[in-house]
Amino acid sequence: MKRLTFLFAVFAILFTACQNDEEIILEDVGIVVDYASAGNCGYIIELENGAKIQPLYYPEGFTFSQGQRVHVQYAELTNVVPSCDRGTPAEIVFVEELDCAPFINWNSSNSDSLPNDPIYLHEAFVDGDCLQIKVSYSGGCKEHTINLVRIQLSEKDTSNIPTFEISHNANGDMCEAYFTKELRFDLNPLKQAGVNEFILTAKLPDGEIYEEIFELE
């Protein structure tokens, strides 16, 4: 009888342990921030509830990019010790893009000089309602900011074809580590305004200026 009681107690402990190990799936909306130049960090999702998670595992085929607004379902990996201290490690079991990052409107009459440090541009293409770009730069000691900026010489500028520049602010970073980022920017404001094409420019490391016309469907 004592042996049966002992076995029952062991079973109860094991069953309870299994119950405690069961994954808890959480759900929220957040903004993707790329911390690739900050130590051992990468993409962090800053959730609307104030938490930050590191997507260590996520559905195959999904690409995170700076500024995305995403809806995620995830499980926190509390048994993983992260090399980055900016968020809780997590497994993303479901993710969908809600919005791309917004572009910035700039004109010389009401703004400071536009940062235009050189940048390597690997690719740029229109993907649905977003412009997707893949860029690289040297650095590692300071935070870099990359934005898509609509250039208007003045508030009265009514150019037929909108011109955008990939604006890169290296903040004087002289370090030589190499980073690559993918970014997506929202083109919906152009489509809603009836625009069917735009010009994209960027300052390249060799001193040349990239310029290409893209069409919108």
One-letter amino acid of 139: G
- List of domains in the chain: 24-99 (2.40.50.500), 104-215 (2.60.40.2370)
Alpha-carbon distance of 74 to 90, in angstroms, equals: 6
The helix or strand, by DSSP H or E, that contains position 207, with its residue range, turns out to be none
Q: Residue range 26-37: average pLDDT?
A: 89
Contact 189, 152 (CB under 8 A): no
**pLDDT tens across 108-133, in order?**
766 678 899 999 999 999 998 999 99
Its pTM stands at: 0.76
Tokens describing residue 118:
């050189």
Alpha-carbon distance of 83 to 15, in angstroms, equals: 33
Structure-model confidence comparison of residues 4 and 116, the more confident one:
116
pLDDT band at 20 (very low <50, low <70, confident <90, very high): very low
Query: How many CA atoms lie within 13 Å of 23's alpha carbon, on the beta-carbon side?
Result: 12
pLDDT band at 156 (very low <50, low <70, confident <90, very high): low
Q: What sections of 107-192 are H helices per DSSP?
A: 188-192
